[in-house]
Amino acid sequence: MSSLHTISRSSQHELLQACLKIINPGDEILFIEDGVYYCCDKKSLSLISRDNYVYGLREDLVARGLRDKQDALVEVVGYHKFVELTVQHSKTVSWF
């Protein structure tokens, strides 16, 4: 019963903190839309347990001038993988 969590707003909205309160081991996080600013935010990323793998959506990173600036912890993926992730996990929790 693992979950994919999508986070789509910047850290100003504190969505990651809310998500981390209820995340389970094995769940994964995908940063999309304004959520991709988290991909360059070492301090926020350090709050995420190593049990939770982290992705960032390429299209949104490129649009915002963040491509190649993301932290080493973040795997950059496209929409193809986004779809696959929603299939791999039994449910998707969207934070917006």
Partner 1 sequence: MSKKAFTFISRTAPYGSNRPKMSLDAALATAVFEQEVNYLFMDDGVYQLLANQNGEPIQAKTLGNALETLDLYGIDEVCVDYESLQKRNLEAGDLTIPVTLLDATQMRALINQSDFVINL
Partner 2 sequence: MTAYQFARNLLDQGHDIYRVFFYGDGVFTLNALAVSPQDEINLPQAWHQLIESHEIESIACVSSAISRGIINPREAERHEKDSVSLFESSDIAGLGQLVDAALQSDRLINFG
Single out the residue of 2, 14, 22, 24 in contact with a second copy (rule: CB under 8 A): 14
Helix ranges (H only) for the chain are 15-22, 42-45, 58-63, 79-88
What is the pattern of x (binds partner 1, CB under 8 A) and - over residues 28-67? -----xx--x--xxx---------------xxx-xxxxxx
Is 86 a binder of partner 2 (CB under 8 A)? yes
Sign of the Cα pseudo-torsion (33, 37, 40, 44, in order):
negative
Q: Between the CA atoms of 60, 61, 62 and 64, what dihedral angle is there, to the nearest 10 degrees?
A: 80
Name the residues that contact partner 1, by CB under 8 A: 1, 3, 8-10, 12, 14, 18, 21-24, 33-34, 37, 40-42, 58-60, 62-67, 90-91, 93-96
